[in-house]
Amino acid sequence: MGKFGNPDFDLFQLPEEHEALREAIRALSEKEIAPYAKEVDEKARFPEEARAALVANGFNAVHVPEQFEGQGADSLAACIVIEEVARVDVSASLIPAVNKLGTMGLILSGSDELKAKVLPSIASGEAMASYALSEREAGSDAAAMKTRARKDGNTWVINGSKCWITNGGQSSWYTVMAVTDPDKGANGISAFMVHKDDEGFTVGPLEHKLGIKGSPTAELYFENCTIPEDRIIGDEGTGFKTALATLDHTRPTIGAQAVGVAQGALDAAIAYVKERKQFGKTISQFQGVEFMIADMAMKVEAARLMVYAAASRAERGAGPLGFISSASKCMASDVAMEVTTDAVQLFGGAGYTTDFPVERMMRDAKITQIYEGTNQVQRMVMARALLRG
């Protein structure tokens, strides 16, 4: 694996602290997360072992600022953590990834008082956070959401539902988008922090999924859900802008997740073809296999470079992030699907069984092309950034 990374640094070499971080999270992942990945997938259970290991070693939410009892790690460091966990188990990687997604809007736009109420518990691992934007009829068209919030004295009252909520039921805090002024369209959407114990909030049924089975995906219901007025994130009517800004910062983390699962599949494929024998020699000696491995590795390295570049730009606040953020997520997830599929092919019939991890990796990789904006939507975002400035 190359040392491509932050363009702020000469020769694209990562700083020593980032390389040390990679070594630490990789060792932890291989020792304390990988052994449970198969069971987590087969039983569709939450990876409690992974959560415990990540929390114990401070990798569950490295992005939380030091001011709020976190490590204050930069965007690239967060991507490296997610990448290395996803290399062995994509479901487990959604713990640090969704903790960032669920708190990024708060970090970008929330009051210090609200940050102080929420972020320390996320940093310590006492709580997790999720992001609630999508609805059944408002997926890619998020501005079409129907969930409403109205002011009632010194409280907000929320009614509606959300779907496809990653880690729903496991999280304590939820960033929820709701319409506060239906006459203003996207400018009438506001963002709120809802706690699992708030009156009128319930977690609905879980989805039964192709992959990431260890990460629960749930519906959320708000029935006169009442929260204090200071739980609004930023000013009223700025929620949609907060949602878009959040995704600009978190789409590279999905790219990192995709790079991780692709790297894991590539590693497994290389090990397998060097051992598997046909026609009196290992299949790694056949040119067709050599070309497949070369193409897989080339794509993974290219995707990694784009993800790291996007993370670095997000950290620096270097210009509009829409294009590079969407491009990194889109390219990396397409690569993940290609590489994991090729890995299954290289394993042959064995790759189609659950005896080896590549079939799980292929199933897990698919979601990276869908969530946080389908890759069709990513291409729309990129094209509009190029054509409309």
DSSP collapsed to 3 states, the chain: CCCCCCCCCHHHCCCHHHHHHHHHHHHHHHHHHHHHHHHHHHHCCCCHHHHHHHHHCCCCCCCCCHHHCCCCCCHHHHHHHHHHHHCCCHHHHHHHHHHHHHHHHHHHHCCHHHHHHHHHHHHHCCCCEEEECCECCECCCHHHCCCEEEEECCEEEEEEEEEEEECCCCCCEEEEEEECCHHHHHHHEEEEEEECCCCCEEEEEECCCCCCCCCCEEEEEEEEEEEEHHHEECCCCCHHHHHHHHHHHHHHHHHHHHHHHHHHHHHHHHHHHCCCEECCEEHHHCHHHHHHHHHHHHHHHHHHHHHHHHHHHHHHCCCCCHHHHHHHHHHHHHHHHHHHHHHHHHHHHHHHCCCCCHHHHHHHHHHHHCCCCCHHHHHHHHHHHHHHC
Q: Which of 32, 315, 359, 372 is catalytic?
A: 372
Active site (annotated) includes residue 301: no
Catalytic machinery residues? 372
